[in-house]
Amino acid sequence: MTSGQEDRHGMWHGTYDGHGDLVRLSARDAELDSLPPLPAAVEDPAGLLELRLDGNAFTAFPEPLRDMSGLEALSLYRNRLTSVPRWAGSLTGLRSLNLAANRLTTLPDEFGELARLHTLDLGHNELTELPDALGRLTGLDRCLYLSNNRLTAIPAALCRLTALRYLNVTDNLLTALPAEFGDLAALRELRLYNNRLVALPDSLGRLGELREAHLMGNALTSLPASTGDLAALRELRLMDNELESLPRSIGRLKRLRILDLRNNHLTALPPSLGDLSGLTHLDLRNNHLTELPDALSKLPALEKLDLRWNDIDPWPDWLEDLERHGCAVLR
C-alpha cells in the first residue's frame, strides 16, 4: 500500500501510511453501539493515529480505545455518550478530539491530562459546568468549541489557555465572563452570541490579537472603555442587545471594518465614530436615534450605512454626499 491509499475492511474504512501500515480508521453512520473487531491489517492498536466513529449509537467510550495510546485524532461526533471515563485522560497523544452532539453532562478532571490537544469540540451537549482541569490544556491553540450547552459560567481557570486563537461559547446561559478573560492573549475570534451577558470585563481590552467579536443576542447595556484598546479588531457584532450608549474610546478601532449595532436602545452616538477610518459597514437599524453626529460624514471607506427604523428627523444633508461617493445609505 502507498501513503494515503484508502481501503475497505468490512465496515471499516482505512488509510495507510508510507510504510504500508493502516493508521487511520473510520466507521461512520453505522448505528454501532460497540466497537467491531479491528481489521487484521492493524497489527498493533497503539499504532493507530486517527479513529472516527461519527454518527453511531455509542453510549459510552469504547473500551478498546484504552489500547490506542498513539491516537492523535479521535472523533465520536453525534453519538449518545453521557459521560467521559477517567481513563480517557491516558490518551495523551491526542491532538484533536471531537465529542460534539452527544449527551455529556460532566467532564472528569483527568481531561486536563490531554495536554497536547490543539482542537477540542464539546459543542451541542448538556454540560452545565466545566472543570478547572480544562485550564491545564495549555497546548490548545486552535479551537475550543463549547456552543449549545447549558453553561452558566466560564471558570477563571479556562483563561490560562493563553495560546488559544478561537473560542466559541454561543447558545449557552452565560451572564458574565471572568475578570481574567483578557489573559486569553492569542484569541483572534470570539463567539459569545445568544447568551445572557449583561456586561463585559474591563480586561477585554487586553485581547490585542482579536479580529472578530460576535456578541449578538445578549443583554449588554454598555461596553467597557477598554473596548477601544482592541487594536486588531475587524468585526464587532452587537445586534440584539440592550445597548444604551457607546464609549468614546470606540473611535480608536482604526482597523474596524464592520460594526453591527442593530436592534439596540441607542439614543445617541459618540462623535468619535467618525474616527473609524477603516469602517466599511455600519448598521444602526432599529435603535432610538433622533440625530446623527456630523462626524459620520467623514468616514472615508464607508460602503453601507443602514439607518432604517429610527426616529431621525430631519435627515442631515451630508447623507447625500456619502451617496455621491458610493456609499449605500438605507433610511
C-alpha span between 294 and 307 (Å, rounded) = 14
C-alpha span between 294 and 264 (Å, rounded) = 21
Q: pTM of whole model > 0.85?
A: yes
Q: Give the pLDDT score at 40.
A: 87
C-alpha cell at 75: 472523533
C-alpha cell at 55: 454518527
Confidence of residue 18 (pLDDT cuts 50, 70, 90): confident
Confidence of residue 313 (pLDDT cuts 50, 70, 90): very high
* 162-213 residue pLDDT tens: 999 999 999 999 999 999 999 999 999 999 999 999 999 999 999 999 999 9
Q: Where are the beta strands (DSSP E) in the chain?
A: 6-9, 12-16, 22-26, 50-52, 73-75, 96-98, 119-121, 143-145, 166-168, 189-191, 212-214, 235-237, 258-260, 281-283, 304-306, 328-330
Q: Give the pLDDT score at 10.
A: 76
Mean pLDDT computed over 266-291: 98
Confidence of residue 20 (pLDDT cuts 50, 70, 90): confident
User: What φ, ψ does residue 221 adopt, rounded to 5°?
Assistant: -105, -15
Are 22 and 14 a contacting pair, CB within 8 Å?
yes
Q: Give the pLDDT score at 6.
A: 53
Q: Give the pLDDT score at 11.
A: 86
CA distance between the termini of the chain: 65
Confidence of residue 214 (pLDDT cuts 50, 70, 90): very high
C-alpha span between 162 and 4 (Å, rounded) = 34
Q: Give the pLDDT score at 5.
A: 53
How far from 127 is each of 22, 121, 149, 151, CA to CA, in Å? 35, 12, 5, 6
Domain map of the chain by residue range? Answer: 6-330
Q: How many Cβ atoms are within 10 Å of 20's Cβ, its own excluded?
A: 12
Q: Residue 318 has what DSSP assignment?
A: H
Whether pLDDT at 1 is above 90: no
Long-range contacts of 220-228 (CB under 8 A, 24+ apart): 221/265, 222/247, 223/247, 223/250, 224/199, 224/200, 225/249, 226/202, 227/200, 227/253, 228/252, 228/253
* 70-117 residue pLDDT tens: 999 999 999 999 999 999 999 999 999 999 999 999 999 999 999 999
Q: Give the pLDDT score at 3.
A: 46
- Which homologous superfamily is 6-330 in? Ribonuclease Inhibitor (3.80.10.10)
Are 69 and 78 a contacting pair, CB within 8 Å?
no
Mean pLDDT computed over 294-314: 97
Confidence of residue 8 (pLDDT cuts 50, 70, 90): low
Comparing 4-8, 122-126, 227-231, 298-302, the range with the smallest average pLDDT is 4-8
